[in-house]
Amino acid sequence: MKTLFVLFILILCVFAINANQQEEINQESTQQTHQNLLYKVQKWRTSLKDSSDAELKLSPALVVAGVLCFTAALISSASGIGDGFFFIPIMNLVAGIDLKAASSFSAFMVTGGSIANLINNHFGCKKLIDYDLALLLEPCMLLGVSVGVICNKVFPEWLITGLFVVFLMWSSMETCENGHTSWKLSLILREKEDMRDSRLAEVKRRRTIIFFKHLYLKIKKTETKQSFLGRNLGIISIKPCSVEYWILLSLQIPLALVFTILALSRTESLQEQSISNQEGTRLDHQFKRLMFPVMSFLAGLLGGIFGIGGGMIISPLLLRAGIPPQVTAATTSFMVFFSATMSGVQYLLLGMQNTEAAYVFSVICFFASTLGLVFAQKVVPHFRRASIIVFLVGTMMYLTTIVMASFGILVFYIDNDAGKDIGFQLPC
């Protein structure tokens, strides 16, 4: 009996030892797999060219990124979302461009897409752009773009990734909500065509166009013939972060305030008779008018940081203020053109590299957005379910959020483990 008991104890000991050894082997295997994953990601990161220092050359990854950007611009334009939320992940994960440089590329691509939308809305059969509203919002939006571009240079990559993931998640929820609303109201919107009186006087249109032409000429006066021979030199003779540069940048603050105050006062004088004399209604109206410039500044700020147009923030604001959806879409695309263009100009002033590649991607997105608009106007009405495209875009945005968050956490862990500087940087 004692022999059997001893034998039983020995068998238990053998099983315990084997179990411990197997557990150690599993832990070592898991740790080895984790290290191999980190090594592969690190190798992938180091094999990619730093787009801020090296010139981009034609490669399979760049071609694939171009095809994906074309597809993303087409789908975004057809769905009416725009803003190029997919450009940054594509350029960062596929083309191998760092996140900050991907934001500058995105600004040029959004500009290309917004040109197609601007041509469609301004020269189309329906002129729905509210120029008074655009004149009220655009100065603060352009000011926010300038501040956002500087923040893009100062913020560390992990912070930009985190902000972009949060903003992308919010935009995904807004997109799916808009798709749900569009699906519920598709029958009503299909039977009822939105009619809007052409109360936009030619004087108002000319005044707004003159304002933006004046802004464009102000920028063109500072430009010289493009010369990229020097390192970290912009397209103008003023050096980045010099005294002249900061003076030129700070001049936007009083200009934005002056134009916004003038637009607010003119809007108040025009709508004074149409507003009820009730105090609550008047206060609510004044609060909405004051919130417009603040939200436009925030939209420009995020647009400058991420290289997007900022229309995803302005559109819900205008819709909640009672602006018709068609007018909101047309006015937003008009504003996004100038904000994205301003963002691209700011990146050029700060010495952006690989401008030729950015121009090519901008042209690609222009043609893709044009095809998307044709698809939305000619093909989608036959199916009578435009909300399906919106749901598709929302799903893609959710997937992009997950991928960007996963890679952002992994890259942050690798950079922190390697002892790299992950703090704030100087803008120059």
On whether residue 224 sits in a domain, the answer given is no
Q: What is the pLDDT of residue 381?
A: 63
CB of 411 within 8 A of CB of 185?
no
pLDDT in tens, 1-54: 556 555 656 666 655 666 565 665 555 555 566 566 656 655 655 555 444 445
Q: What is the pLDDT of residue 186?
A: 63
Residue type, 102: A
Percentage of residues in the chain having pLDDT higher than 90: 5
pLDDT in tens, 236-257: 566 767 777 788 778 888 888 8
Element (H, E) at 360: helix 355-374
Q: What is the pLDDT of residue 51?
A: 43
pLDDT in tens, 264-298: 776 665 555 444 544 445 555 566 667 788 888 88
Least confident of 9-13, 82-86, 127-131: 9-13
On whether residue 3 sits in a domain, the answer given is no
On whether residue 24 sits in a domain, the answer given is no
Vertex 337 angle, CA 104 and 139, to 5°: 95
Element (H, E) at 29: helix 2-47
Residue 191 has pLDDT above 60, yes or no: no
* Phi and psi angles of residue 26, each rounded to the nearest 5 degrees, phi first: -65, -40
pLDDT in tens, 316-347: 777 777 777 677 777 888 888 888 888 888 88
CB of 300 within 8 A of CB of 140?
yes
Element (H, E) at 67: helix 60-79
Helix, strand, coil percentages (3-state) for the chain, rounded to 5, are 75, 0, 25
Least confident of 11-20, 87-96, 363-372: 11-20
Residue 425 has pLDDT above 90, yes or no: no
Largest Cα–Cα distance in the chain?
110
- Residue 180: both structure tokens together: 């749900």
| DSSP assignments along 206-268, one per residue | HHHHHHHHHHHHHHHHHB-S----STT--SBSSPTTSHHHHHHHHTHHHHHHHHHHHHHHHHH
Query: In total, how many domains does the chain have?
Result: 1
Q: What is the pLDDT of residue 52?
A: 45
More reliable by pLDDT, 160 or 359: 359
Identify the domain containing residue 348 by its residue range. 59-190+232-272+279-417
Q: What is the pLDDT of residue 104?
A: 87
The pLDDT of 393-409, averaged and rounded, is 75
* Phi and psi angles of residue 276, each rounded to the nearest 5 degrees, phi first: -65, 155
Please, where are the H alpha helices in 185-228? 186-191, 202-222
pLDDT-based confidence at residue 367 (cuts at 50, 70, 90): very high
Residue 120 has pLDDT above 70, yes or no: yes
Residue type, 263: A
Residue type, 355: T
CA–CA gap between residue 168 and residue 195 (Å, rounded): 33
Percentage of residues in the chain having pLDDT higher than 70: 59
More reliable by pLDDT, 70 or 128: 70
CB of 206 within 8 A of CB of 319?
no
On whether residue 386 sits in a domain, the answer given is yes
CA–CA gap between residue 245 and residue 237 (Å, rounded): 10
Q: What is the pTM of this model?
A: 0.70
Q: What is the pLDDT of residue 24?
A: 58
On whether residue 198 sits in a domain, the answer given is no
pLDDT-based confidence at residue 230 (cuts at 50, 70, 90): very low
The pLDDT of 369-389, averaged and rounded, is 72
Go through the chain and tell me how many residues it has.
428
Q: What is the pLDDT of residue 309?
A: 74
CA distances, 78 to each of 81, 165, 248, 369, 379 (Å): 8, 24, 38, 8, 10
* Phi and psi angles of residue 223, each rounded to the nearest 5 degrees, phi first: -80, 150
pLDDT-based confidence at residue 421 (cuts at 50, 70, 90): confident
Least confident of 40-44, 201-205, 376-380: 201-205
Residue 396 has pLDDT above 70, yes or no: yes
More reliable by pLDDT, 312 or 233: 312
| Beta carbons within 10 angstroms of residue 383's beta carbon | 9
The CA-to-CA distance between both ends of the chain, in Å, stands at: 84
pLDDT-based confidence at residue 80 (cuts at 50, 70, 90): low
On whether residue 406 sits in a domain, the answer given is yes
Q: What is the pLDDT of residue 197?
A: 43
Q: What is the pLDDT of residue 360?
A: 92
Q: Average pLDDT of the chain? A: 72
CB of 373 within 8 A of CB of 120?
yes
Residue 213 has pLDDT above 60, yes or no: no
The pLDDT of 344-356, averaged and rounded, is 83
On whether residue 124 sits in a domain, the answer given is yes
CA–CA gap between residue 44 and residue 96 (Å, rounded): 9
Q: Burial level of 32, CB count in 10 A (0-12/13-18/19+)?
A: exposed
On whether residue 134 sits in a domain, the answer given is yes
* Helices first, then strands: H and E counts in the chain: 16, 0
